[in-house]
Structure 1
Amino acid sequence: MQQKIVLIGGPGTGKTSVLNELIQRGFYCMPEVSREVTLKAKEQGIEQLFLTEPLVFSEMLLEGRELQYLNADKNDNNIVFFDRGIPDIHAYMDFFKTNYPDTFLNKSKKYQYSKIFHFAPWKEIHTTDNERYESFEESKTIDKFLLKAYSELGYKICNVPFGSIKERTDFILNSLSCDI
């Protein structure tokens, strides 16, 4: 049975760096969808789609993450890693106090993941860029909403300790080897 593993945490916590390390080690990984959605919006002249049209942005994210999940099902790899999962979407909308239809929570319940690895906010590595504009304080608050969303869906969350990219990646892979 395929394991679908999600890396969660606020912005700038090291998820993508670890995902890139997993790719280098030959694992099948699904990248973060929000950067792609943000860049497409910028090409259309919308500087911050999430801030101007949060529901439209979230619907695009949902479509992308659902497609990633379904593509993983078509894949014959035993393990697939995801840089964020479907529940991240409603967690972010809760953080921004955005009203949204039940579809988001229903999809979060429908598409289940095997294991959740949490990357806590880490001031020393937090940075901002054109697509990641949240401050470290905002990242800490978003992190609480993410933990709440996944916990309320019944997921057991495994905390990834601070360390080098190699150490964090090794921790995840060693944790998975115990489950196999």
Structure 2
Amino acid sequence: MHERFVLVTGCSGGGKSTLIEELARRGHRTVQEPGRRIVREELAGEGSALPWIDLAAFARRAIRMAVADWRRARECGDADGWTFFDRGVIDAASAFEVATGRKVLAPLARRYRYRPLVFLAPPWPEIHTGDAERRHGFAAATEEYERLAGVLPALGYETRLLPKVPVAECAAFVLAALERG
């Protein structure tokens, strides 16, 4: 387990990436969401590993990328600082299980651990928007949130809901929660 690896997950369109950007602006190490990076790469080429075309291929690729991100962060190692992950291995493996029915989440989650406290972005309809990279609607995002909210405690994580406040306040909330232990 890597106590300094902080997972930020939850509802798509719930403000996770904006929070990660704010934490990076404050000098923390951050890892961008694998899904967004994959979609950009696939759209730039002629790829079909897109969640709305082939969810299994997309999730398989997301697992590989999230594992590589986790390993790279471990190699960089900064014992004094936090590394914030915008989604990670758990998200990708959960999506893969939904797409294929194959059980991969538990073994991957045991091997690639994050800090036991995970920050969960709740559904927030007032800020949820779609774009070229996020084509699913609010109902699908809420369903994803509910799945993750259920699976994280089963994997031994404590979840803390991100407050629906301006991003600077949300970042302060996260940092204060981590400093308290």
CA distance in 1, matches of 2:146, 2:3: 28
Paired residues for 1:33-112 under 5 Å: 33-46=34-47, 49-77=50-78, 78-94=81-97, 97-112=98-113
Question: Deviation digits for residues 37-69 of structure 1, max 9, x if unmatched?
Answer: 112222332467223222221111111100111
Shift of 1:31: 0.6
TM-score (norm 2): 0.90
Task: List gaps (5 residues or longer) in structure 1.
Answer: none
Taking only the aligned residue pairs, the percentage that are identical comes to 23
Instruction: Give 2:127's match in structure 1, choosing from 116, 125, 128.
Output: 125
TM-score (norm 1): 0.90
Paired residue for 2:170? 168
Q: Tell which deviates more after alignment, 32-41 or 84-93.
A: 84-93
Alignment of 1:29 onto 2:30: yes
CA distance in 1, matches of 2:77, 2:95: 31
Instruction: Give 1:150's match in structure 2, choosing from 146, 149, 152.
Output: 152
Task: List gaps (5 residues or longer) in structure 2.
Answer: none
CA distance in 2, matches of 1:46, 1:103: 24
Aligned length: 177
Shift of 1:163: 0.3
Q: Tell which deviates more after alignment, 159-168 or 134-143.
A: 134-143
- Could you say what the CA RMSD is over the residues aligned between the two structures, in angstroms? 1.7
Paired residue for 2:140? 138
Runs of 4+ in 1 over 2 A off after TM superposition: 43-48, 90-94, 100-105
